[in-house]
Amino acid sequence: MHCAALFAQDPITIALQPFATGLSGPVDIAHCGDERLFIVEQAGRIKIVDPDGTVRTTPFLNITTRVNDSGNEQGLLGLAFDPDYATTGKFYLNYTGGTGNGETRISRFSVSSDPDVADPNSEEILYTVTQPFSNHNGGDLAFGPDGFLYVGFGDGGSADDPSNDAQTLTTTALGDMIRIDVRNSVTYTVPADNPWVALGNDTLPEIWASGLRNPFRFGFDALTGDLWIGDVGQNAWEEVDFWPAGDNSGPNFGWRCREGAVVSPSSNTTGCPPASAFVEPVSVHSHAEGWCSVMGGRVYRGSVFPAMEGRYIYTDYCPTPYYSLFPDGSGGFTRQQISSGNGGVGTSCIAENSELELFVANESTGTIKRIVLCPSELPVITVDGFNLSTAEGYSYRWFRNGTVISGATGQSYTADTDGTYTVEVRYFSGVCTLVSDGVEVIGTGISDRSAALFGLFPIPARDVVQISGLDATYTRLQVIDMGGRIVASQALNGKDLQTLSIAELAQGAYMVRVASNDGSNVQQRLLQVIH
């Protein structure tokens, strides 16, 4: 198994920050290496969203006349840009075409001379699969770290995989994942190291993996190349599957013989291989808990939220919480719930922008939201006489004795009545809310009930740490190891928020100390550094 360096994973809480609105049935998100997001609308359009969340009025591509979206699981479902798109201008689509149950088409298109508009007449249909039913069309496709194109197909639909396609490798790619080389070819070639190529039998050589029911969303870890699949279940279980990069041995993920980690009813197990032939899911969720269609996500590899590093983040189409999986150090994964909900029914995709930050599409609301990490520490109230202030947030509400103070919505507030004061701070457009500890006005001064006058975020920290709640009396900052040695220092510039690089510090415990020049005002807090 490939993974980043292991480190302690404290519980985290994420939220969904509004980003773009006004879309129609968005089901996929992709980028071509620049700042634009490309949003796939199920009816057959691709829209461009700018970094400020503006949705372009002119579609990047419109092929609604070719797309069959008459069924709930049909339509334009997936988009992948050539890894060398800046040079080739090529991108690939997975959509349902034809009439009735139709066929899945894997097609290649080219951008026009206008970088914001594709050429609809450039279509080259590379691969087709006839669909026996209107559901379980799969829909995702992605380039792996090896440069090959991976395409996931559902089992063909109906229920219980009536033709046993997911366990049959000789007649169709239904219920399988194919792996093809689309470089320097009119259509495609089959990689020589695909699992069954060397056998020379009647197995379809394009097939790379089998035993899938409906892998609607899958993706590769941008750092390690490991594959993560959200395979939609039937009546009881949703599952997440994992397969390490570079292993082309032909994984079989178990459907129709198994649903999740549970053996299917006896009517479905006729002719099934032994359990040892199957890859066990790394996470399962029961329909009894409200799950209905797992939405495979991504491993976070962005830079804005270091505490999310290395976590695979996923959820469900139905309104269930978000969860994360991360290596447990013993070859498995630890699962944590990281939200109280997922924003309602309709979540259809979790994907990255070019900076590897995560975004979420919701087909029901026509929105795109950004996944953000809520602060893990409570806001800190700093005091100067009767003047109260807190670190920067999105919005504020001040309270006295637990009652909101009318009109007190600024970053600072001057206390004019005895009582205990707290502040509610909202972050990221208001989607994260935290309330401070109290400070007590006792007539002639203020008594601080919190443990320290400044805050640290995140704790534990990895590469950088932010120090908040500083006032002008502090002029210097030091990091001191457990032996009493100063290992980092920084002059303070009067701002109440400072960022300190700790990437060069060894893993372990330190004290962060802030002090005035004359030493009359000193505060310190414990900092845990992890790498």
Q: pLDDT digits over 148-169, tens only? A: 999 999 999 999 999 999 999 9
Q: Is 406 a residue whose pLDDT tops 50?
A: yes
Q: What is the pLDDT of residue 520?
A: 59
Q: Which residues of 436-473 are buried (b: 16+ CB within 10 A; e: fewer)?
A: bebbebeeeebeeebeebbbbbbbbbbeebbbbbbbeb
The residue-averaged pLDDT of 492-507 equals 84
Q: Which domains does the chain have, with CATH numbers?
A: 14-373 (2.120.10.30), 374-451 (2.60.40.10), 453-531 (2.60.40.1220)
Check residue 447 and give its pLDDT: 47
Cα–Cα distance, 157 to 153 (Å, whole number): 10
The percent of residues above 90 in pLDDT, for the chain, comes to 71
Q: What is the Cα–Cα distance from 326 to 312, expressed in whole angstroms?
A: 6
pLDDT value for 3: 41
How many Å apart are CA 71 and CA 158, to the nearest integer? 13
CA distance 399 to 403: 5
Alpha-carbon 35 to chain mean position: 17
Most confident of 146-150, 261-265, 439-443, 451-455: 146-150
* Residue corresponding to tokens 């100067």: 384
CB 515 within 8 A of CB 476: yes
* pLDDT for position 33: 98
pLDDT at 2: 41
Tally of CB atoms within 10 A around 382: 23
Q: What is the band of 449 on the pLDDT scale with cuts at 50, 70, 90?
A: very low
Greater model confidence, 300 or 522:
300
Rounded to whole angstroms, the Cα distance separating 264 from 257 reads: 5
Looking only at the bridges linking them, the beta strands covering 227-231 and 262-263 are: unpaired
What count of other Cβ atoms lies within 10 Å of the Cβ of residue 302? Answer: 18
Sorting pLDDT into bands at 50, 70 and 90, what band is 261?
A: confident
pLDDT for 100 beyond 50: yes
Candidate from 189-203, 321-335, 437-451 with smallest mean pLDDT: 437-451
Angle at 272 between CA 266 and CA 277, to 5 degrees: 130
Q: Minimum mean pLDDT among 84-93, 152-161, 338-347, 367-376: which range? A: 338-347
Q: Where are the alpha helices (DSSP H) in 163-239?
A: none
Residue keyed to tokens 């999310």: 308
Compute how many other C-beta atoms are within 10 angstroms of the C-beta atom of residue 146.
Answer: 15
Instruction: Using pLDDT thresholds of 50, 70 and 90, give the confidence band for residue 136.
Output: very high
Cβ atoms of 174 and 140 within 8 Å: the answer is no
The better pLDDT of the pair 529, 163 is held by 163
* pLDDT at residue 452 tops 70: no
Average predicted confidence (pLDDT) for the chain: 91
Q: How far apart are CA 85 and CA 79, in angstroms?
A: 13
Number of Cβ within 10 Å of residue 83's Cβ equals 17
Q: Where are the beta strands (DSSP E) in 181-261?
A: 207-209, 217-220, 227-231, 237-243, 258-259
pLDDT of the residue at 351: 98
d(C-alpha 396, C-alpha 424), whole Å: 6
d(CA 282, CA 454): 40
Closest C-alpha among 422, 383, 379, 382 to residue 400:
422
Indicate if the pLDDT at residue 459 is higher than 80.
no
Please report the pLDDT score of residue 8 as a whole number.
Answer: 56
DSSP run (H or E) holding 88:
helix 85-88
E strand spans, 363-438: 367-373, 382-384, 387-389, 395-400, 403-404, 412-414, 419-427, 432-435
Q: 3-49 pLDDT, tens per residue? A: 444 445 789 999 999 999 999 999 999 999 999 999 999 999 999 99
Contact 105, 95 (CB under 8 A): yes
**What is the average pLDDT across 342-365?**
95
Number of neighbours of residue 273 by Cβ within 10 angstroms: 12
Mean pLDDT of 378-399: 91
Angle, vertex CA 283, rays to CA 235 and CA 330, nearest 5: 160
The pLDDT assigned to 453 comes to 59
φ, ψ dihedrals at 115, nearest 5° = -65, -10
d(CA 452, CA 448): 8
Using 50, 70 and 90 to split pLDDT, how confident is the model at 444?
A: very low
| Model confidence, pTM | 0.82
Q: Measured on CA atoms in the order 98, 103, 107, 111, is the torsion positive or negative?
A: positive
- Cα within 13 Å of Cα(487), Cβ side: 21
**C-beta of residue 420 within 8 angstroms of C-beta of residue 401:** yes
Do residues 390 and 398 make contact, with C-beta atoms less than 8 angstroms apart? no
Lowest mean pLDDT among 100-114, 431-445, 507-521: 507-521
Tokens of 14: 């994420």
Beta strands in 185-234 (DSSP E): 207-209, 217-220, 227-231
How far CA 128 is from CA of 71, 163, 272, in Å, comes to: 18, 18, 27
User: What proportion of the chain, given as a percentage, has pLDDT over 70?
Assistant: 94
Mean pLDDT across the stretch 137-142? 98
Residues 6+ apart with CB under 8 A from 313: 14, 297, 298, 299, 300, 322, 323, 324, 338, 350, 358, 371
Average pLDDT over residues 293-307: 97
* Encoded tokens for 73: 């699981």
